[in-house]
Amino acid sequence: EKFVYDFAEGNKDLKDLLGGKGANLAEMTNLGLPVPAGFTITTSACQRYLAEGSHVEGLSAEIDDHLAALETSMGRKLGDPADPLLVSVRSGAKFSMPGMMETVLNVGLNDESVQGLSRQAGGNDRFAWDSYRRLIQMFGKTVCDVPGHEFEEALHDAKVRKGVKDDVQLDADDLKELVAAYKKIFAKHTGHEFPQSPREQMDLAIAAVFRSWNADRAVLYRRQERIPADLGTAVNVVAMVFGNLGADSGTGVAFTRDPATGESGIYGDYLQNAQGEDVVAGIRNTVPLQDLEKIDKKSYDELLAIMAQLEGHYHDLCDIEFTIERGKLWMLQTRVGKRTAAAAFTIAAQLVDEGMISLDEALTRVSGAQLAQLMFPRFDLSSHPSPITRGVGASPGAAAGEVVFSSAHAVAAAAEGKSVILVRRETNPDDLPGMIAAQGILTSRGGKTSHAAVVARGMGKTCVCGADEMEVGRDQFTVNGQVVREGDTVSIDGTTGRVYLGEVPVRPSEVVQYFEGDLDPALANEPLVSAVHLLMTHADSAARLAVRTNADTGADAARARRFGARGIGLCRTEHMFLGDRRPLVERLILARTDTERNEALAALQPLQRADFLQIFREMNGLPVTVRLIDPPLHEFLPSLEDLAVQVAVAKERGEEAEHDERMLAAVRRMHESNPMLGLRGVRLGLVIPGLFAMQVRAIAEAAVELAAEGGHPRPEIMVPLVGAVQELETVRAEAEKIIAEVVGTSGISGASSGVEILIGTMIEVPRAALTAGQIAEAAEFFSFGTNDLTQMGWGFSRDDVEGAFFWRYLELGIFGISPFESIDRDGVGRLVRIATDEGRATRPGLKLGVCGEHGGDPESVHFFHEVGLDYVSCSPFRVPIARLEAGRAAV
């Protein structure tokens, strides 16, 4: 196995092996762009290193060969005292994990080669010692776990002693002293001197990069982003170029489009006389990239030309890291850049307009999760709240919460159920847990490319950064004379960068207004709204899966229809039994005779009919699947404890409590140890005479009434919890009789009546899935109830397990995500496949759908598409998301 690739040997499609950074460095090298020479050690070497411990057979020899080739091409030897070659050792995994892993610059410097470096730079001692102190600092921190703040404090002390503010104001002698101080810190913590051997430095740095794959924060980030834990990182060894050689040098980052809005233009930050990390760390204030035109026009023009070339090549937004060494531009990194949800839509639509990508391709560039973000509410500014300050809108959204100043406090407050805004001067990877826990992030330093901004955008979390009027302390911040303490509430707008004191109310986003059809006309030509329109239209035309909604009321049905639902996949009838109808249900349950029961049913029937009529009207012309009553009846009764107390108290007082006593007896009688597996669904229908009949009659009558109005009702009666075909046959026989009777006496007759009622079943008991071939004999449709199918398939009680032990299962990797959130393809998914295939074998025209939470989950939608279902059904608000994913699944 080959472990090391020269940049010239790779390309952008080798991300698995070379990591994103390595693959793109190779791609740029082969495009003829100015990339310093170097080589990449593969992710598979890292996997081997982590699995086998330090020694990977053959790796060292391959590194020798590639290092020798690099030295030949550069005409210098690593760390040569007279004329040293220096390298950077850079991590780079398949998926970008900003700031999560390690990079060490200036490897190869020691007490001797620092002199050689100075001579190379024309006697620039300051530069050489600055590079050396950086090496000891980065190497100490990342390779040997020396606490980074000790170096920072030593640097701070040096500046104070000199009476200066910026590190560039330290001269060669100051830096020499600093190197001596750094070495002491290094020796104190490691128990040995800073290693002088260049090759040893390099090997230790490579091993440290390998190990950084398993650093706590990297592990946490991967879990959050659902990046597999076993990929490993590649290591890039790159010849150093220097941005810290003086004012004619510098380093910067750039985007080919605005990663926050998607607008094309020139976005980036540049810092003169600086090395790599300085830009993102917010150590000194960067200048906007545009200013580079005045500083170094030649490099600026070349950079712009390269950016255009990269966009044309990758057909996407690229982000770039570059360094200028004495007027010579070097490309140090590029990748298809992270972006906000809004930018993803806008960019995809723009690239279609520009003829760079097809509509199908555009669909692959956006996701349901991003659309969900665009549907988040915005601040309602109609009360004209005045901002206390303003920063850079780095990651959009409207977040309000109590201010906290540390990651730990954010985690603790969130655990108490509070919304918090994490306020920091700037964030670093150690703040990750707090960033995850917080509602939003606010920093006083750094721009769109700072750690806070990049990580927040990746997580879809609201972030305002670089609000530099803020003075952030330990437990309060001050801005324009105002003091905001831990626990005070602020609202931050990640789009405009505005920060408000107190809680600002929110309103629906433009995208929701667009779906609702009540978009402010002034916004109709907004790039984002047009982009959403373009992509949704294409998704609908590409999709094979239809999207229906779960709705129990006319209002929900109407909203879902506006959001693009093509029918109702699940109308639960039990919600119709609550509220002021509860006494009627109690009468039904307490009935002692047939007459009492029939009276109770007769009272419920017109109410149900009216509910159905309203829903059928809203969904006129579209299918409406009505599920007959499903939950155990005692859910409609008061709690056993409350009743027992009530009865006891009444007795004590010698009061009359006949009704309560009857109720108590009924509750006792109906008590179940495992209600989820008890008397519910079809079992209720078979045990309580007249219950299902009443519901079927209400459905049929509502349908007839709508047809008589000239409408086109399409009810589908769904029987829940069926496990055997005989259950369904019994219910079906009775239902068919009632339907025939209702339609027969209605005066409207035959096929022209416009009333056609299908009868089918949920597939939610594993036995139903396994005998689907038989069940299809009696069912015109199946709807997979994947919530119950998951409960019963795994034997998990949904209400109990999530809090009890799922965290442990997730930690152990038994599953990567809760099977209630995203369908378990291998197990529960297999049941769906079996039922689909065997059901269709019996009845080729069998309609197949899914109701249940999974219908709105992007991953699951793709699975249901693959299996070949006809539709998914989800809550009204998730309908657009499911539509988009159904389209994406089909391209």
**Binding residues for Mg ion (CB under 5 A):** 321, 333, 764, 785, 788
Which of 808, 846, 889 minimizes the C-alpha distance to 546? 889
Beta bridge partners of 422: 404, 441
CB closer to Mg ion out of 705 and 788: 788
Q: Which residues pair with 272 in a beta bridge?
A: 250
Cα(571)–Cα(575) distance, rounded to whole angstroms?
Answer: 9
Report in angstroms how near the CB of residue 563 gets to Mg ion at its nearest.
Answer: 24
Q: Which two tokens stand for residue 705?
A: 């009434």
Q: Closest separation between CB of residue 627 and ligand ADP, Å?
A: 52
Between β-strands 440-443 and 84-85, what pairing exists: parallel, antiparallel or unpaired? unpaired
Judged by CB, which is closer to Mg ion: 104, or 591? 104
The distance of closest approach from Cβ of residue 101 to Mg ion in the complex, given in angstroms and rounded to an integer, is 10
Shortest distance, position 95 Cβ to ligand ADP, whole Å: 12
Nearer to ligand ADP, 331 or 414 (CB): 331
Question: Which one of ligand ADP, Mg ion, none is in contact with 491 (Cβ closer than 5 to 8 A by kind)?
Answer: none
Candidates 10, 19, 20, 36: give the one binding ligand ADP (CB under 6 A).
36
- Tell me whether residue 62 or residue 764 sits nearer to Mg ion (CB atom): 764
Catalytic residue among 46, 463, 851, 874: 851
CB of 333 to ligand ADP, least distance (A): 5
**Judged by CB under 6 A, which of 249, 333, 550, 873 binds ligand ADP?**
333
Long-range pairs for 436-440: beta carbons < 8 A, 24 or more residues apart: 436/220, 436/224, 437/407, 437/410, 437/411, 437/413, 438/401, 438/404, 438/410, 438/414, 439/399, 439/400, 439/401, 440/397, 440/399, 440/400, 440/401, 440/464, 440/492, 440/494
How many angstroms separate the CA atoms of 193 and 296, rounded? Answer: 41
Phi, psi of 571 (to 5 degrees): -110, 110
Give me the least distance between CB of 115 and ligand ADP, in Å please. Answer: 20
Q: How many CB atoms lie within 10 A of CB 840?
A: 17
Our CB check for ligand ADP shows the closer of 105 and 501 to be 105
| 660 vs 764, beta carbon nearer Mg ion | 764
Q: Nearest-CA neighbor of 351 among 266, 267, 268, 263?
A: 263
| Residue 36 binds: one of ligand ADP, Mg ion, none (C-beta under 5 to 8 A by kind) | ligand ADP
339 phi/psi in degrees, rounded to 5: -155, 165
What is the enclosing helix (H) or strand (E) of 234? strand 233-239
Counting residues that bind ligand ADP (by CB under 6 A) gives 17
Tell me, residue by residue from 64 to 103, as one string, x for binding to ligand ADP by CB under 6 A and - for no binding.
------------------------x-x--------x---x
Interacting residues of 38 by C-beta distance below 8 A, sequence separation 6+: 6, 7, 25, 70, 87, 236, 237, 238, 239
* 493 or 764: CB nearest Mg ion: 764
Neighbouring C-alpha atoms within 13 Å toward the C-beta of 548: 25
Which two tokens mark 797? 């009680």
**Is 635 a residue that touches ligand ADP (CB under 6 A)?**
no
- Among ligand ADP, Mg ion, none, residue 99 binds (CB under 5-8 Å by kind): ligand ADP
In the complex, the smallest distance separating the C-beta of residue 396 from ligand ADP, rounded to whole angstroms, is 24
Find which of Mg ion, ligand ADP, none residue 240 binds, CB within 5 to 8 Å per kind. ligand ADP
Is 714 labelled as part of a ligand binding site?
no
Nearer to ligand ADP, 108 or 760 (CB): 108
C-alpha to C-alpha distances, 320 to 91, 256, 429, 888, nearest whole angstrom: 16, 8, 21, 29
Nearest alpha-carbon partner for 335 in 222, 458, 221, 240:
458
Q: Which helix (H) or strand (E) holds 136?
A: helix 125-138
Q: Which does 785 bind (CB under 5 to 8 A by kind): Mg ion, ligand ADP, none?
A: Mg ion
Smallest gap from Cβ 332 to ligand ADP, in A, equals 5
By beta-carbon proximity to ligand ADP, the closer residue of 105 and 835 is: 105
The residue (of 233 and 549) whose beta carbon lies closer to ligand ADP is 233
Check binding of 277 to ligand ADP (CB under 6 A): yes
Q: Tell me the residue nearest to Mg ion as measured from the CB.
A: 788
Residue 788 contact partner, candidates ligand ADP, Mg ion, none, CB within 5 to 8 A by sort of partner? Mg ion
Q: Cβ distance 359 to 346 under 8 Å?
A: no
3-class state of residue 313 by DSSP: helix
DSSP SS3 for 36 = coil
What number of other Cβ atoms are within 10 A of residue 327's Cβ? 11
Does residue number 105 form part of the binding site for ligand ADP (CB under 6 A)? yes
d(CA 514, CA 562): 10
What are the C-alpha distances in Å from 474 to residues 150, 223, 431, 471, 486?
19, 30, 15, 10, 9
- Residues 128, 176: Cα–Cα separation, whole Å: 10
Question: Considering only residues 37, 240, 589, 850, which one is a binding residue for ligand ADP as defined by CB under 6 A?
Answer: 240
117 sits near ligand ADP (criterion: CB under 6 A): no
Residues 358-417 that bind ligand ADP (CB under 6 A): none
Does 276 participate in binding ligand ADP (rule CB under 6 A)? yes
Could you tell me which of 109, 103, 54 has the C-alpha nearest to residue 236? 103
Q: Is 480 annotated as a binding residue?
A: no
Is 110 labelled a binding residue? no
Q: Please give the residues from 179 up to 218 whose contact with ligand ADP meets the rule CB under 6 A.
A: none
Q: CB under 5 to 8 A by kind: which of Mg ion, ligand ADP, none does 701 bind?
A: none
851 is catalytic: yes
Residue 764 touches which of Mg ion, ligand ADP, none (CB < 5 to 8 A by kind)? Mg ion
**How would DSSP label each residue in 592-614?**
-SHHHHHHHHHHHHHHHHHHHHH
SS (H, E, C) 655-712: CCCHHHHHHHHHHHHHCCCCHHHCCCCHHHHHHCCCHHHHHHHHHHHHHHHHHHCCCC
Clarify whether 318 is annotated catalytic: no
251 binds ligand ADP (CB under 6 A): yes
Residue span binding ligand ADP (CB under 6 A) among the ranges 235-243, 602-610, 767-775, 846-854: 235-243
787 labelled as ligand-binding? yes
Q: Is 272 in the site for ligand ADP (CB under 6 A)?
A: no
261: annotated binding-site residue?
Answer: no
Compute the distance between CA of residue 363 and CA of residue 468 in angstroms, rounded to an integer.
38
Q: Pick the catalytic residue: 46, 66, 318, 451?
A: 451
Residue 105 exposed, middle or buried by CB count within 10 Å (0-12, 13-18, 19+): buried
> Which region among 233-241, 368-376, 465-473, 588-596 touches ligand ADP (by CB under 6 A)?
233-241
Q: Which residue is nearest to ligand ADP (CB)?
A: 276
Check the annotation: does 596 bind a ligand.
no
232 is in an annotated binding site: no
Look up tokens 């600002």; give the residue.
504
- Sequence ranges of the binding site for substrate: 572, 627, 764, 785-788
- Sequence ranges of the binding site: 572, 627, 764, 785-788
Residues of this chain that bind ligand ADP (CB under 6 A): 36, 88, 90, 99, 103, 105, 238-241, 251, 276-277, 321, 323, 332-333
Hey, which residues are catalytic here? 451, 851
